[in-house]
Homo-oligomer: A and B are copies of this chain.
């Protein structure tokens, strides 16, 4: 059995999906939205099965919340589809139009990547969002969601698949993978699958990267930094730090390390330690931070103030994904930059400063997908960037970097229109190139 034959067929079908007009693709999205609305009771019933199974497995309440697909989530995904329909067509855009010579015209035109495998966490709304992005961008997709929502995934997939086929998409343009062995089969589809997008834990993404020759887009780590500069507005710094740590602690764009300019440390660190204590965040400082806190008396009466504190080694900067944050003092913005480029994961890093020249230096030299001034690292997200939706966040520098929306699911091809030209004539000097850029769209 297995899915490889289906993937082989998908590869041959994919150029025909790529050729569908934006009218057809948007009409398919409309059908998807209508079908989800029409069959919502069936979806909710399947979701109840998943929730019951989760309860039996004693899965934590916070996780169960993600598994749920109710009227609210339904409204959200349908609103998301409507937004996607409103977005301009990412395909068929001429990004280069050049006359190479009389009667020899080169166009570079955007087109879908082709066949994409997406492996995502147990969140039914992700199933809808990801398939919608693929439909809008003319890509074929193999979809594998978390097993904790397998019943919900299956019915959502069936509804979506039926809707796009009824809208004129070719059969086999979407595929549901359900077992772990199918992931391994998928990883083996080099030459058939053009891109794999894994979402999930570090170790899972690493596993994918280590076990396939297919290009992988994603991020394994999210060690994000906030640097509090000497010229920081400290009233801004504290709420930004708390937001970046607590608004969604398990997210890849949550802050993990605070770098504090030494010249403001005596004033800022006590404020910080109070705020962290109040928010229940453990502070993990280097020796210099310990000594300062000790000297300032912040480590006294820990039981009373609620401060949780631990000293860490000079190289022990981790992704906690928990209510813990590292802290280190630095001499200036350059030491902060150097620390981030050395210990960071090139995801998203923020500077708190009122000095725009220092901010410029930080944002130029920090080698990350997102470099921020005076705001929370949690803004690194496709919705918040106005992309309508995202398939993931990339820390790779190739193709797509940062939150990946429609544009990241698109590549291009070169179309060259001639009238009998051969290269020999240009090599011999009989003909000459006359490059002239024409109007792009």
Residues of A in contact with B (beta carbons under 8 Å apart): 11-12, 14-16, 18-19, 98, 100, 104, 106, 113-114, 194-195, 209-210, 213, 215, 217, 233, 235-236, 239-240, 242-244, 247-248, 337-338, 341-342, 359, 363-376, 378-380, 384-386, 396-399, 401-403, 411-424, 426-427, 433, 435
Contact = CB atoms under 8 A, between A and B. Distances in A.
B367 A14 contact: yes
A215 B209 CA distance: 11
A271 B204 CA distance: 59
B375 A420 contact: yes
A432 B342 CA distance: 36
B375 A342 contact: no
B372 A385 contact: no
A397 B98 contact: no
26 contacts: A12-B341, A14-B367, A15-B341, A15-B364, A15-B367, A16-B365, A100-B384, A100-B385, A195-B398, A209-B213, A370-B414, A371-B414, A372-B415, A375-B417, A375-B419, A375-B421, A376-B421, A376-B422, A376-B423, A378-B422, A379-B416, A379-B421, A379-B423, A385-B414, A386-B435, A397-B411
A190 to B, nearest CB: 9
Contacts of A19: 364-365
Given A12-B341, A422-B376, A384 B433 contact: yes
Given A396-B215, A421-B375, A370 B247 contact: no
Given A210-B213, A397-B195, A414-B370, A386 B422 contact: no
Contact of A370 (B12, B217, B413): B413
B243 A422 contact: yes
Contacts of A397: 113-114, 194-195, 411
Contacts of A247: 422-424, 427
A416 to B, nearest CB: 4
Contact of A415 (B16, B363, B419): B363
A93 to B, nearest CB: 13
B215 A416 contact: no
Given A209-B213, A213-B210, A243 B424 contact: yes
